[in-house]
A and B are shown apart, each in its own frame.
Chain A
Amino acid sequence: MQIEKLMITGLMAGLLLLSSAAHALSPESITSLTTGENEQRIDAIASVVNSGDSSAIPFLKNILNDEVKLADGKILIVSESGAIDAMTGEVVTLPEYPEDLINNNRMRNELDIAIAALSLRSSDDAVRLAAAKKLQQTSTSEAMLPLVRQAEKSEKRPKIRTLLVEIRAGIELYSSDKQLRLVAAHELAGSTSAQIRQSLTSRLELDGETDPEVRLAIEAAIESIEERLGYYEFAGTVFTGISLGSVLLLAALGLAITYGLMGVINMAHGEMMMLGAYSTYIVQNLFRQYMPEWFDGYVLAAIPVAFIVTALIGVVMERTVIRHLYGRPLETLLATWGISLILMQLVRTLFGAQNVQVENPNWMSGGIELSSNLVLPYNRIDIILFSVAVLLLIWLLLNKTRLGLFVRAVTQNRSMAGCVGVNTARVDTWAFALGSGVAGLAGVALAQIGNVGPDLGKTYIVDSFMVVVLGGVGQLAGTVYAALGMGITSKFLESFSGAVLAKIIVLVIVIIFIQKRPQGIFALKGRSVE
């Protein structure tokens, strides 16, 4: 990813700066960089790095991208637009059989490091950050030291500065000066990078630090890094657990309405999510085709579309099938399973059996990097926020609106509600539409983090039913606790037992838990419990 980016930027820079850049290097450097044995060329790279001449970058990138060719004693930079002489910058005609400049992996590595080292002087923050990250991840030689020190002095951004300190200390760890090594070990103790821990360990074991005092300092540094990494790992597990929990919550909220409030088992609930995801896919394609300039906003448009589509399908389902099966939950279960099969096959017929591509909009890709082993992806964060928002809306709808009042009334006592004039049949339809619509919303979210295919619903249906069963019937709060609890528990189990076993263990825990509390975490009190 990173290398790809570097290559792309390199390519662009190469194209833009073709003539002027090549001029900046002395003819001797150009010659020594491109001719001779690998050893000599690597020496040449080192001397270019030592000179700190950042104008060499474009030419180094040209070499790295295999754009430099040799012909008739000339060194040419070849691009799609033609060839130019590296020495003079003149446009020349490309000879018929130019000789390729061979770069083996070691050469490429050296070039990469050299480019990164020289980029440390760039005025662009992003370029310097990328360069510093690159250098931190590769083994750097002592030759870089002056360059890194200089960059560290002039660096204002704390994030890049920290990286530079780590790079410098990493080099100084191998210094012949004991004092420098000691200071370096202390400086590295504050790192949060697994890479640094690795290089500290290898300094201890493979390369053999002999001085006992420095050894002690390094050991202390490793310990402190490991402790810090442990915290981040823990935080990361909690985060992915909450993230999974929010997905489960979204998947289960609709069920909590249809099953929890209405007592209808909707086995097609997963397919409603699947349809929501496909609605997102369609909206995405429409945006791409008709208003590409607004593409990043397609997710926002997909939310109401998915809700309406699935809610309408829910209305049709309720009116044609489920209505006739009230009071016969087992039959409802089978009939809705039938509906789910039909919906699944319908999507297969319409969109094919393969998964379809749903892209994250720009503002949802990437993430907040808290440390080398803890990145919080934006799409996950957005889904957590989204599930909170959906939860809040449903809560408001159920507790603060007239419809919600009716739904609760029908849930508590259907015939009494009917007697005082609530149109229970209509309330059923509305509630079922709401539950289905929420499933559609879940589909929008799922489309952002996973595969969108006809089988999407089936992967979530068992889990979301478990959430509802665990949470107890007729309570939103129970659903929330159950979803988060299941999410976090399974992520923690996953970290030491693997994903499949974790899933099995969670299911077993749920089954055992239900032994203790057959009505779920939050049981309805009073006569409504059969």
Chain B
Amino acid sequence: MHSNYQPFLLRLLGNSRWVGYAVALTVICILIPVLNLAVPEDSALHLSDYTVSLLGKILCYAMVALAMDLVWGYTGILSLGHGIFFALGGYAFGMYLMREAADAGSQLPNFMVFLDWHEYPWYWAGSDSFIFTLLLVVLAPGLLAFIFGWFAFRSRIKGVYFSIITQALTYAFMLLFFRNETGFGGNNGFTDFKTILGIPIATAETRIVLFALSGLALLAMLWMSHRIVESKFGRVLTAIRDAESRVMFSGYNPLHYKLAIWTLSAMMCGVAGALYVPQVGIINPSEMSPANSIEIAIWTAVGGRGTLIGPLIGAGAVTALKSWFTASFPEYWLYFLGGLFIVVTLYMPQGVMGLGKKLLGKKS
């Protein structure tokens, strides 16, 4: 299967991969900032703040889609609960932002005041330290994924069984975070952030820096994913996807491989969530709703499972379409999204990448 479109991939990514990275880097770190900040607003080339924040969102979603692709596209584990890791990363970073905003007014965040709490609960300890927060962003989703994955993979839960249980997990967490007493702001979640490391969060410059950081993180993850997929470890993952029993009979223990990629994927989602929250300015439990997590799967499916560029395209295309639909004809968005689910699964099992490959393959 791989050998079929190796030439295409090679052309796109192989020999010219470093060119691709360099181009992406330039676009993210120079072109878009300049178009947004330096080009005058009435110019046709000017990028509005809205577009930049949309692009920033897309970059974060692309990281999630990539993380999903590693577990689903390459390892065959369909998670319907990836939103939970994304949200946990977001909440971990949101705690820091809330704390900074609250400390400026030298009192607890409003929702804690309403609960009549007089000090931070224990799990907020350390949220005042930026370094600790960065660790928490990766460790919280990672730990949850590790524990859950260990139990699930150990008892060899797989296929739709696994998918449904991940859905139940994110559903349970959503309910948990909806409670006010859980200490994460209940329904409203975290919002009204003021500063990040003492720098005002709402300025155009901060936004561009966050955008560039998201871009860099995505590129780093893409590079890491390439290394993983092409390593022996990655080959075993693909083998598990295609014939888990045979991998077992060959003397590998799938548990370790699945658990490793699963946990890594969750951590990637955590980073994405942490970058998402300061750009969007809000995190609330609806990020953990089962519907959101399934949408992640469709990003990956639309772009093309088992390719690394596909999920990025999928996340970008679906998110851009969503923001266009919900602005222009909101009532038709769900029809379109629903139709997308059906069409992609029925007619485009390889997604956009597969389609492109077919078209290119016919031409050449």
- A residues within 8 Å of B by Cβ? 259, 265, 321, 324-325, 329-335, 337-342, 344-346, 348-349, 458, 461-462, 465-466, 469, 500-501, 503-504, 507-508, 510-512, 514-516, 518
Contact = CB atoms under 8 A, between A and B. Distances in A.
B342 A503 contact: no
Contacts of A469: 161, 164-165
Contacts of A501: 179
Contacts of B159: 329-330
B354 interface: no
Interface in B273-297: 290-291, 294, 297
Interface string B300-337: 01000000000000000000000000000001001101
A331 B349 contact: yes
Leading 9 A-B pairs by shortest Cβ distance: A338-B341, A341-B338, A342-B338, A345-B334, A338-B338, A335-B345, A507-B172, A331-B345, A338-B342
B169 interface: yes
Given A265-B164, A329-B160, A334 B294 contact: yes
B58 to A, nearest CB: 21
B290 A515 contact: no
A515 B155 contact: yes
A7 B170 CA distance: 50
Nearest to B294: A337
A510 B312 CA distance: 35
Interface size class, chain B: 35 or more
Contacts of A518: 155-157, 161
A503 B172 contact: yes
Nearest to A335: B345
Contacts of B340: 338
Contacts of B349: 331
Contacts of B161: 469, 514, 518
Contacts of A503: 172, 175
A341 B337 contact: yes
B168 A465 contact: yes
B361 interface: no
B337 A338 contact: yes
A462 B171 contact: yes
Given A329-B160, A338-B338, A345-B331, 15 more contacts: A325-B346, A333-B78, A334-B298, A338-B345, A344-B334, A462-B168, A462-B171, A465-B164, A469-B165, A503-B172, A511-B165, A511-B168, A512-B151, A514-B165, A518-B155
Contact of A334 (B169, B178, B297): B297
A333 B163 contact: yes
A341 B164 CA distance: 18
Contacts of B163: 265, 330, 333
A324 B78 contact: no
A514 to B, nearest CB: 6
B169 A507 contact: yes
A342 B335 contact: yes
A333 B72 CA distance: 14
B341 A507 contact: no
A507 B168 contact: yes
A500 B187 CA distance: 13
B164 A504 contact: no
Contacts of B14: none
B176 interface: yes
Contacts of A507: 168-169, 171-172
A342 B339 contact: yes
Contacts of B335: 341-342, 345-346
25 contacts: A321-B346, A324-B346, A330-B159, A334-B301, A334-B344, A334-B345, A335-B342, A335-B345, A338-B339, A339-B342, A341-B338, A342-B338, A345-B335, A348-B331, A461-B290, A465-B167, A469-B164, A500-B178, A504-B175, A507-B169, A511-B168, A511-B169, A514-B155, A516-B155, A518-B161
A465 B163 CA distance: 11
A155 B195 CA distance: 76
A420 B55 CA distance: 58
B179 A500 contact: yes
Contacts of A345: 331, 334-335, 338
Interface of B: 78, 80, 148, 151, 154-157, 159-161, 163-165, 167-169, 171-172, 175-176, 178-179, 290-291, 294, 297-298, 301, 331, 334-335, 337-342, 344-346, 349
B175 A500 contact: yes
Nearest to A462: B171
Contacts of B291: 458
A324 B339 CA distance: 16
Contacts of A259: 160
A504 B176 contact: yes
B175 A334 contact: no
A56 B141 CA distance: 73
B343 to A, nearest CB: 8
Contacts of A335: 341-342, 345-346
A348 B335 CA distance: 11
A466 B290 CA distance: 14
A510 B168 contact: yes
B1 to A, nearest CB: 16
B297 A342 contact: no
Contact of B341 (A329, A341, A514): A341
Contacts of A511: 148, 151, 165, 168-169
B347 to A, nearest CB: 9
A15 to B, nearest CB: 49
A445 B189 CA distance: 35
Contacts of A338: 337-342, 345
A329 B179 CA distance: 34
Contacts of A333: 78, 80, 160, 163
Contact of B290 (A325, A346, A349, A462): A462
A9 B89 CA distance: 61
A518 B159 CA distance: 12
Residue among A462, A500, A518 with max Cβ neighbours from chain B (10 Å): A462
A508 B172 CA distance: 8
Nearest to B331: A349
Contacts of A516: 155
A340 B338 contact: yes
A137 B148 CA distance: 52
A504 B174 CA distance: 10
Contacts of A504: 172, 175-176
Nearest to A259: B160
Nearest to B334: A345
Which of A329, A331, A341, A518 has the most chain B CB atoms inside 10 A of its CB? A341
B175 to A, nearest CB: 5
Contacts of A514: 155, 157, 161, 165
A90 to B, nearest CB: 62
A408 B159 CA distance: 23
Nearest to B182: A500
A147 to B, nearest CB: 49
A437 to B, nearest CB: 22
A500 B172 CA distance: 9
Contacts of A465: 164, 167-168
A334 B175 CA distance: 23
B338 to A, nearest CB: 4
A20 B146 CA distance: 83
Contacts of B298: 334
Nearest to B342: A338
Nearest to A510: B168
Nearest to A264: B160
Among B167, B168, B179, B339, the most chain A Cβ lie within 10 Å of the Cβ of B168
B304 to A, nearest CB: 14
A320 to B, nearest CB: 9
Contacts of A340: 338
Given A329-B159, A469-B161, A339 B171 contact: no
